[in-house]
Structure 1
Amino acid sequence: MTANTDRSFQQYIYFLNPSTIKTDSQKIDHHLLINQTIIDMLKHSTFNEFQLETKLNEDAEFIPDIYVKGWLGKDWFIECQNSLYTIKQLYSKLDKYKQYYDKGYWNDERLIIIGKVNLKFAPEDYPFKVKQVKSIDDLKDTIKQYKELKYAKFKETVINKSDSSLKFKG
């Protein structure tokens, strides 16, 4: 085992020796952010499946960092960003998702861009749900509201079923 100790003010990263990846690769921090995002998602809710950096089909001109099925009752495209976007990069990425939507492939997924936030965009300009946050934990209030609504619907269903089963003969 070998360690990359060249990371000031951060924990060491350990690799197999010989390593299958370059121990000083710029992609390491990107993959650490992807992994941290998955860990943070699991703190709030489980999901059915996730795919890392997988092209969804031939017509998709993007490869999401993470595609998650069944998290908080929805499917999610997640983009993890360690560096700052230029305006051109941000809109180019969003335009690829919009093209996918326009081709009719969108199935009510959500898009989250996680990481460094240096540019704002208008989510209402897109026909799908999109949000930009520094981390999944920035969504904790939204997640709490979702869970409360889901619980209220469940409770109402249970009450309605028990009311309908309580028929008295007079």
Structure 2
Amino acid sequence: MVNRDKLILDDLKKFRILNRDQIIAMHFNHLKQKVVVCNNVMKRLRRDGYVTACTESQPYNYFLNPSPIKKDSKKIPHFNAISEFYIEVCKYEKPRLFNVEPKLAEKSTIEPDCFMIVFNSPIFVEIQRSIYSAKVMQQKINRYKAYFESDEWMNLEWQGEKKFFPYIWIITDYKYKLDNVSPLQIFQTKDVNEFMETVVKQ
């Protein structure tokens, strides 16, 4: 197995599911015949039993074998949104660390969609595919405040000598009015490009 195969399998483990176009964006975008090469590689990985595919979707969705999620899971659009977000971020800078649905504390505390270190900054990311009520979003932020006050975050493996609580980045088409957020640093943008234009380039 070549190194690229291993990296594809690592990404399938990380993201749970990737469609062919996402795999191309992550591993084959530099090639002229990227679609053909990707199809051949994934066909071989399926043949050798490393991956399985949902052939009812176009392009195909690929999973590790055995798959960590069901092929008809309702969370597939959620994981696809995280993968697309990662691909968009990589157009500007590849994250030094990118964890999908990291388990940071007890259930019912904070549950970010992903955590990453990029642009020299640690960031919790919430990708809102639907509009929450103001009350539900405020409750989510309140859980982040409780996590901040717990000091548990100071022991995360990426922390250095100087402790830093991650920024919170909400991807949303609807800007929420949030109360009592200090000392949290929260950004709300509709996509990665808006974040780059309004936050990173400031």
1:84 maps to which residue? 131
Structure 1, unaligned runs of 5 or more: 6-10, 146-170
What secondary structure does 1:44 align onto?
coil
Extract structure 1 runs of 4+ deviating beyond 6 A: none
Alignment-mate amino acid for residue 110 of structure 1: Y
1:137 to 2:184 alignment:
no
Which residue identity does 1:26 align to in structure 2? K
Distance 1:45 1:124 in 2: 32
Deviation of 1:131 after TM superposition, in Å, equals 1.2
Where does structure 2 lack aligned partners over 5 or more consecutive residues? 1-52, 155-163
**What are the equivalent positions in structure 2 for 1:39-50 lying under 5 Å apart?**
39-50=87-98
TM superposition score normalised by structure 2: 0.58
Calculate the aligned-residue CA RMSD, in Å. 2.8
User: In structure 1, how many angstroms separate the alpha carbons of the residues matched to 2:62 and 2:166?
Assistant: 35
- The size of the alignment, in residue pairs, is 138
Q: Does 2:110 correspond to 1:62?
A: yes
Q: Give the letter aligned to residue 119 of structure 2.
A: L
**Deviation string for 1:107-151 (max 9, x for gaps)?**
231001114x33522477431210122211111222233xxxxxx
Matching residue's letter, 2:55: A
1:98 to 133, 145, 148: 145
Alignment of 1:1-170 (within 5 A): 1-5=53-57, 12-15=59-62, 20=67, 21-58=69-106, 61-69=109-117, 71-104=118-151, 105=153, 107-115=164-172, 117-122=173-178, 125-141=181-197, 142-145=199-202
CA contact (8 A) 1:123 1:131 kept: no
Provide TM-score, normalisation by structure 1: 0.68
Quote the Cα distance in structure 2 between the aligned partners of 1:17 and 1:48. 23
